[in-house]
Amino acid sequence: MGDALLIVLLGLPMTLLVTVLSFTIGVIGGIPLMLGLRSRTRWVRLTCRFAVDLIRGVPPIVWLFLLYFGVSFGAIRLDSLNAAVWGLGIISSAYLAEIYRGAFATLPSGQAEASAALGLGGTVTLTRILAPQALRTALPSIATYLLSLLKDSSIASTIGVADMVFNATMFARQNPATAGIVPFFIAAAVYLVISIPVAVTARRLDTRLRRTA
């Protein structure tokens, strides 16, 4: 049990690293995608819509395998960590772009109108008036997404990233008869221990935001 615990915990930093890096890529990458989704130019809007739907329509494991095995420019190939982080990062951009877009859509139209009527230009309206309000609305959904990304980071284990699940699988394969299941229970427990506080905070944020709305 002690061995299993140690081995699984050794994978925790990698689990967190993959999660945080791909989340960061997603948070940033989601912004241009969201702007494209809200664009007034039809072809931009449709292209972004198609891109987001396509990205979300392919399972994460396929994306990761595609990037890890399939991407090679001459001598350059993505190592497993990069493939995982960029793969999950691109997927996150698509999901977060949708979350951002949804948040903007729930803003009362009077806000954009008042800003326009005052004569505040488009950029100022977006960045100083609409975005701060949209962000507040989007925060619970973003937190929920972060949690699901934490779980999806486990898929990186399938291309060899040494996260908790990878380590657990290695241990289980080496000790099948005796304690195959133990490392997975430990990994499960760690996921729960990390995610439950975040989930509770997200739920509280959501209730508090509903009240002040």
Partner 1 sequence: MDSLIDLSEYLPRLGQGLVVSLQLTALSVVFGYLIGLVFALGVSSRQPWLKWPALVAVEIGRGIPALVVLYIVYFGLPALGVLFENFWAAVIGLTFTAAAYSSEMIRAGIQSVPAGQREASAALGLSRTTSFVRIVLPQGLRSSIPPLMGLAIMSFQGTSLAYSISVNELMSQAYQVSTITFQYLAVYTITGLIYAAIAVPATWLSVWVEHRMARGAV
Partner 2 sequence: MNVPLITEATELAIAGVQISNLSKRFGDHLVLDDISMNVKPGSVTALIGPSGSGKSTLLRCVNLLETPDGGSITVGSQTIRAGDRVKDRELLTLRRQVGMVFQSFNLFPHFTVLRNVAFPQEKILGRSREEAEARARVLLERVGLADKADQHPGKCSGGQQQRIAIVRALALNPRVMLFDEPTSALDPEVGVEVLTVMRELADAGMTMIVVTHEMQFARDVSDHLVVMADGHIIEEGDPAEIMADPREERTRRFLNAVLER
Q: Please select the residue that binds partner 2; options are 75, 76, 117, 193, rule is CB under 8 A.
A: 117
d(CA 62, CA 109): 40
Find where tokens 């001459």 sit: 74
Find where tokens 């494209």 sit: 36
Segment near partner 2 (CB under 8 A); pick from 10-18, 126-134, 137-145, 190-198:
126-134
* Binding positions for partner 1, rule: CB under 8 A: 53-54, 56-63, 65-66, 69-71, 151-152, 154-155, 157-158, 165, 168-169, 172, 176-181, 184-185, 187-188, 191-192, 195-196, 199
Find where tokens 């490392």 sit: 183
Region 134-193 residues binding partner 2, contact defined as CB under 8 A: 136
CB proximity list for 118: less than 8 A, separation 6 or greater? none
In the numeric block, which tokens belong to residue 51?
A: 């891109």
Q: How many CB atoms lie within 10 A of CB 183?
A: 25
* Residue 158 interface partner, choices partner 2, partner 1, none, CB cut-off 5-8 Å depending on type: partner 1
Closer Cβ to partner 2, 42 or 173, answer by number: 42
Quote the radius of gyration of the chain (alpha carbons, Å).
Answer: 21
- Interacting residue ranges for partner 2, rule: CB under 8 A: 108, 110-111, 113-122, 124, 128-129, 132-133, 136, 212
